[in-house]
Amino acid sequence: MSTDTLTLALSKGRIFDETLPLLRAAGIEVLEDPQTSRKLILPTNRPGVRVVLVRATDVPTYVEHGGADLGVCGKDTLIEHAAAWGGSAHVGLYEPLDLGIARCRMSVAVPAEFDYVRAVHQGARLRVATKYVAIAREFFAAKGVHVDLIKLYGSMELAPLTGLADAIVDLVSTGNTLKANRLVEVERIMDISSRLVVRPASLKVKGALIRPLLDAFAQALGHAA
C-alpha cells in the first residue's frame, strides 16, 4: 500500500455515526453514507484518506494485518481480540486515544427471579452465556466464582429465558433490552468506550499523515495533543 494513502476501518452503526464528528473536526468529510451506499470503501474529501467498512469485531484484525492503518472499535472488542490472539505471534496495536464514544458498560444480568447473590455465596457453579468469553472468564476467576461459559454470537438475553444459562455477560447502555426481557443487572464489570487503534508499522511509515490526525482528534476531545 502506498505511503500517501490512509485507510481508516470503521463499523457501520454507532461507531461510524459517532466517529463522523471527530473526523469532521480533523477536516475529513466522508463522501458517502453507508446507510444508502453499498460500497465498502468510502472516499473522503481528502484524496489520500479513505474509510473501509468492516464488522466491529474485524476492526482489530484489519488494523493489525495492514488492511487498514487505523480503526475505531470498542474496548470490549479489543480485549477479546487480544485474548483470542495473545498466544500467537502478532504485531499488536497501538491504542493512543480513548475517543469516549459508543459508551456502555459490560455487566452480568440474570432473570429477575434468580437469586444471584445467594448462588454466588453458596458457591454454586453458574452457567454464563456470553459473546465476551475472555472478559467473563477473567471477571469470575477474580471473584473466585466457578462458571461454565457458553459462547454465543448474539441475542445473549435469550439464554436465561430458555434455560440455556443462569446468567449472561453483555453490554448495556440504556438497560431497555434487559428490561424488555425481564433481566436485571447484578454486576457492573467495566465501563466501555471506543478507542482509536493504529498499526505500529503504519505509524512508522506514515507518521507524517497519522500524527496530525491524532492531534486533531485529541484536540476535538479536549485533550492536550
The CB-of-102 to ligand PRT minimum distance in angstroms stands at: 4
Q: Establish if 181 lies at the interface with ligand PRT (CB under 6 A).
A: no
**Residue located via cell numbers 434455560:** 163
Q: Does 77 bind ligand PRT (CB under 6 A)?
A: yes
Query: Which one of 121, 162, 174, 208 is in contact with ligand PRT (CB under 6 A)?
Result: 174
Strands (E) in the chain, as ranges, are 6-10, 41-43, 49-53, 70-74, 94-98, 104-111, 126-130, 147-151, 167-172, 183-192, 194-198
d(Cα 2, Cα 68) in Å, to the nearest integer? 12
Residue 53 binds to ligand PRT (criterion: CB under 6 A) = no
- The closest of 192, 175, 183 to 132, measured between CA atoms, is 192
Contact residue for ligand PRT among 5, 37, 173, 219 (CB under 6 A): 173
Instruction: Name the strand (E) or helix (H) holding 15.
Output: helix 14-25
Residue 13 as a binder of ligand PRT (CB under 6 A): the answer is: yes
Binding mask 106-145 for ligand PRT (x = CB under 6 A): ----------------------------------------
* Cβ 171 vs Cβ 42: under 8 Å: no
Q: Which stretch binds ligand PRT (CB under 6 A): 27-35, 40-48, 49-57, 85-93?
A: 49-57
Q: Cβ 56 to ligand PRT, closest distance in Å?
A: 3
Per DSSP, helices labelled H in 144-191 are 158-161, 176-180
Does residue number 83 form part of the binding site for ligand PRT (CB under 6 A)?
no
Determine which residue in the list 175, 185, 186, 220 makes contact with ligand PRT, applying CB under 6 A: 175
Helices (H), 48-143: 59-64, 75-85, 116-121, 133-143
Out of 104, 159, 165, 218, which residue is the one contacting ligand PRT (CB under 6 A)? 104
Cα–Cα distance, 186 to 197 (Å, whole number): 31
Q: Is 100 left (phi over 0), alpha (psi -120 to 50) or beta?
A: left
Q: Does 98 bind ligand PRT (CB under 6 A)?
A: no
If the CB atoms of residues 81 and 206 are measured against ligand PRT, the closer one turns out to be 81
- 100 belongs to the binding site for ligand PRT (CB under 6 A): no
Q: Which residues is 192 bridged to in the sheet?
A: 104
First-to-last alpha carbon distance for the chain, in angstroms, is: 28
Q: Which lies closer to ligand PRT via its Cβ, residue 145 or residue 171?
A: 171
- 74 near ligand PRT, judged by CB under 6 A: yes
Q: Which residues bind ligand PRT (CB under 6 A)?
A: 11, 13-15, 55-57, 74, 76-77, 102, 104, 170-177, 192, 194
